[in-house]
Amino acid sequence: MAISYNPVAPGADGLLWVARPAMALMAAAALLVALCGGSANLSLFYLARQDLWLLAAAILSLLFCIRRLGSAGHLPAMPRHRALLLGAGLALAAYAGHYLILSGYDLSRDEQMANFDAAIFARGELVAPLAGIWRDHADALNTMFMYPTGQSAAWVSAYLPLNAVLRALFALAGDAALTGPAMTGLGALALWGCARRIWPDHREAPTVAVLLYLGSGQVLFNGMTAYAMPAHLALNLCWLWFFLRRTIWADVAALSVGFVAVGLHQPIMHPMFAAPILFLLVLERDWRRAAFYLVGYAAIGAFWAWWPGFIWTLVEASPLAPRADGVDFWTRLLLAIEKSDTLRFANMGANLLRFAAWQHLLLLPLLLLGLRAVRRDRLAAALAGGIGLTLAVMAVILPYQGHGFGYRYLHGLIGNAILLAVFGWVALGERLAPWRPLLMRSTIAGLLVLLPIQAWMAHGFYAPFAKASARIDASNADYVVVGGSDAPFAADLVINPPFLERRPIRLLREEIDPALIGSLCTSSVRVGVVDAKVLGPIAAYFDVPASAGTTAPRVLAGEWRRAGCSVSAVREAP
């Protein structure tokens, strides 16, 4: 579908084109679902189940907003206190949403690992020790995304630690769930600061930037989670805010923020944002600042490259054990590149469509206008370069994102997209009259129409897992067995506290062997086996039958009984 621009003419006819990008994306989404199916993987499932409908709602909302569109005076100014207040309101909404919408539950392994590590760090430890039988049977506890070992002396996730450190600090202050909301609120203030710095004489630029941020479902709903992405976005914007100040102390602050940003989660995310912006120093021949950042990031990179090997020596029981592939980032990268993905391009297409579906209604039209600034403004080119670099790298190493709201691997670059959109807004100049009421209308429409739909979708996905997890916790068993194949992503229900102090301990059925059963079973040990009805709502969400009532669970239950344990089913609440 061709997209014709007419940003000049006022009224509904002149701005009808703003709905056409969403129309084109919806057509692309429908075609992708038709070609690949809506159940080929989670990305395409999301596309068919959520994003197609969100794009349709976006089109209808935009067409409604354009009706009888007049003109208006300048947008209200955005002083610092107002940006702070709006950021605080967004943080409060994200915190409430964690409990009211996401059921206070960590669904994905990324979320679970962040809080797993946070619990370790809150005790002042770097790893959690494993003793006794668990040294040889740690896999039964579910070690997905943890350091590979021959024999486990301890365990901790294989992610870099600073997202978990932030969560540990908030946990000590009251609640780890405050971390994402706080980062989301900080991101709003930092974005405001960037807009003020880039357009010091344009009173509307900070207002437009903050409104586009507030209207992003991806910003809000990821802020409800334990993902590292809200911190990536906030720290990238803080880094840019400092970088644009062009003072030695601001550069020191930016480099300090960069150290934290690289160590949040995966080391490549922040450098892909920062590298195109730092290249501006070379173009400007500012060799002093360029050398400062080069030396600083070399030290940062060396430290975080050393970290995984150091932690591996703490979790591996045998000092003579060879280091497995996947411990260090280089072998992880090679393994990711070597992994075949037959749906690589379909996944990336679904990722981009999902990104667009979870943003402010006007972000894409204004972004398209803002891309015109790339040819004449180096900062605009650098912001666009960060987005392009991230997309190119992720298309090669990890085109499948798995869980998440919007496209998580672009989350740290949402600030780039918004600032490019503001470039488009500023470029309109005297032709902004009809855009001002359109921005206000589309912001309100997003808050009243799109965000409630997204909240309903988010709750519908998280609630079945949260309820199943609650039933496991209420089972009064010492151990509960869950089969990873019993329902989609059922293995993610097997999450245990790092020090194994809470009962029941959850076990992954596929990793249980007779030696483990014999070691755990006595006449007083109670074992729960998850009933098919507990997993039924999860399976129903994905339109597949739950298989927990098949032969494998019953056979394993017989083995536990013969070893001396009492076995019962973990059932739905009456």
Mean pLDDT by 10 residues, the chain (574 residues): 41 70 94 89 94 96 85 83 96 98 96 97 96 92 91 93 98 96 98 97 95 97 98 98 97 98 96 97 96 98 95 88 80 78 89 96 96 94 97 93 94 98 93 91 96 97 96 93 91 96 94 93 89 90 74 78 90 68
Contact, 511 vs 496, CB < 8 A?
A: no
Those residues with Cβ within 8 angstroms of residue 3's Cβ, 6 or more apart along the chain or in another chain: 17, 20, 21, 24, 368
Contact, 362 vs 439, CB < 8 A?
A: yes
The DSSP bridge pattern shows strands 154-155 and 128-129 to be antiparallel
The token pair at 352 is 């981009």
Per-residue pLDDT at 103: 97
The DSSP bridge pattern shows strands 479-482 and 154-155 to be unpaired
Those residues with Cβ within 8 angstroms of residue 115's Cβ, 6 or more apart along the chain or in another chain: 106, 164, 167, 176, 226
* Cα pseudo-dihedral 334, 340, 346, 347, rounded to 10: -50
CA 549 to chain centre: 33
373 by DSSP, 3-state: which?
helix
Contact, 95 vs 196, CB < 8 A?
A: no
Per-residue pLDDT at 10: 39
Per-residue pLDDT at 547: 66
Per residue in 167-223, pLDDT tens?
A: 999 999 999 999 999 999 999 999 999 999 999 999 999 999 999 999 999 999 999
Per-residue pLDDT at 324: 78
Per-residue pLDDT at 70: 67
- Which of 108, 103, 102, 121 minimizes the C-alpha distance to 162? 121
Per-residue pLDDT at 43: 93
Contact, 369 vs 427, CB < 8 A?
A: yes
Per-residue pLDDT at 12: 44
CA 290 to chain centre: 31
The token pair at 106 is 């960590």
Per-residue pLDDT at 197: 96
Contact, 146 vs 155, CB < 8 A?
A: yes
Per-residue pLDDT at 6: 47
Per-residue pLDDT at 318: 82
What is the spatial order of strands in the sheet that 505-508 belongs to? 505-508, 479-482, 526-530, 566-570
- What whole-number distance in Å separates Cα of residue 196 and Cα of residue 214? 17
Amino acid sitting at position 515? A
In this structure, what are the phi and psi dihedrals at residue 531, rounded to the nearest 5 degrees? -75, 150
